[in-house]
Amino acid sequence: MKYWINFFVLISISYSIEKIEFQSANPFSFQDIILYLDEQEPQAVYGKLEFPQNIKKDKYPLIIGVAGSLGWRNHHFDYLEMYRKMGIATFQLQSFESRGIESTVGTQDAVTIAAIVLDSYRALDVLSAHPKIDKESVAITGWSLGGGVSLFSGWKPVIQAINPENNFAAHLPIYPPCFVKPENIDFVPAPMHILIGELDTWTPANACVELIDMYNASSNQGNIDITIYENSHHSFDSGLPETIIENGYSFKDCMFTLSEDGVPLMNILDIPMSTPSLQKLGFSFCASRGPIIAGNDNAKEKALEFSKLFMSKNLLE
C-alpha cells in the first residue's frame, strides 16, 4: 500500500510540473536588443512551470523566478515553494542550463542580464497563452544577476525594442546590481520593490538608493521602493556562513552610465563596454575581487514575509 501511495504522489507531482520551451537569443548588452535584435542568433531556452498542489483554480497567477550568477540555489526554492502554497504558479527560468552554463561568477559575460531580460519576455508571452495562467497577473522576481533582470525588465527602452505582447504586473528584485544609471530613466509604472543588504559589497545598496532617487526626481509615479536589511551581506537569505567569493567582482566603487541606446559606459572617457573584453577593461578601473556572501536568518525571515505580502497584494487582491 505504501508503495502505491508514493507512486501516486510522484505521478501527481510530475503532472504539476511542465517543461516550457521557447525561442530567445544571446544579446550581450541592451544595445544588442535596442538596435540589433533582428540580427541576434536564435537560442532555445526552457523553464519549469509548477502549479500549486492543493489549491485548484481555473487560472493561476504566476511568478517568473530568475537565479543569480551561481545558478539556482536552495534558498531560491524557499520563495517559490512559499508562492505555490499561496496559490501562485511559479516558473523556474533556466537561462544558464539552456546554454550549457553553470556559473558566470568572475566574468559576468557568458549569460548577461540583457540576454535573460529577453528570455523573460519571451517566456512571458508563451506562458501568457497557457490555458491555466492568468496573463494579467504575472510578476517577476530574481536574486543578484536575476535581481538585475527583475529590475531592468522594467526599463522601457528595452521593453519597447522587444515589443512583447504582455507585461509584468510587478517586479521584486532581490539584491540586484543597480550600479548602472540609465540616461533614460523611464521605467514602467508597475510596482517594483528592491530587497538588499546594508553590507552588500557585490551589488551595493547605496547604488540602488541613488537609482531610485534619480527615478523619483524625474517621475511622479512613486512605484519603485527599497528595503535595506541591517547587518546583511549579499545572499542574506541563503543561510550560508560568511564566505569571501575570491573570483567574484565587488562593485562597491563602481557607478556606470547606461546610454540611451543601451550600452554601459566606462567611468573613464565614457568608452562603451559593448563587448566582453571592453567590459572586463571597464570593470578593471573600479571593481575589485572578493565580495562577501553571508546568510542572516532575521533578514531572510523578513524578506520572505515581505515577498509574501508584496505578491499577495499585486497578484491575489
pLDDT tens digits, one per residue of 82-130: 999 999 999 999 999 999 998 888 777 789 999 999 999 999 999 999 9
Nearest to 252 by CA among 182, 196, 178, 303: 178
Q: State the number of CA atoms in the 13 A half-sphere of 132 facing the CB.
A: 15
- pLDDT of the residue at 104: 86
Residue 65 grid cell: 523566478
- Domains of the chain, by residue range, sit at 16-239+296-316
CA distance 239 to 188: 33
What is the DSSP code (8-state) at residue 246? T
- pLDDT of the residue at 7: 34
Q: Of 55-69, 111-125, 260-274, which gets the smallest average pLDDT?
A: 260-274
Q: What is the mean pLDDT of residues 56-81?
A: 96
What backbone torsions phi and psi does residue 41 show, to the nearest 5 degrees? -70, 140
pLDDT band at 268 (very low <50, low <70, confident <90, very high): confident
Cα dihedral sign for 77, 78, 83, 84? Answer: positive
What is the DSSP code (8-state) at residue 155? B
Going by C-beta distance under 8 Å and a sequence separation of 6 or more, which residues neighbour residue 184?
A: 156, 157, 260
- pLDDT of the residue at 15: 52
Cα dihedral sign for 194, 199, 204, 209? Answer: positive
Residue with cell 551561481: 70
171 SS3 class: strand
pLDDT band at 11 (very low <50, low <70, confident <90, very high): very low
Q: How many residues does the chain have?
A: 317
Stated pTM of the model: 0.93
Residue 301 grid cell: 525571515
Higher pLDDT, 109 or 239: 239
pLDDT band at 14 (very low <50, low <70, confident <90, very high): very low
Residue with cell 539556482: 72
CA distance 246 to 317: 44
State pLDDT tens for residues 171-221: 999 999 999 999 999 999 999 999 999 999 999 999 999 999 999 998 888
State pLDDT tens for residues 296-315: 999 999 999 999 999 999 99
CA distance 120 to 66: 8
Residue 36 has pLDDT above 60, yes or no: yes
Which residues, listed in sequence order, are joined to residue 64 by a DSSP beta bridge?
91, 140
- pLDDT of the residue at 285: 92
Whole-number average pLDDT of the chain: 93
Name the CATH architecture for the domain at 16-239+296-316. 3-Layer(aba) Sandwich (3.40)
CA distance 4 to 51: 23
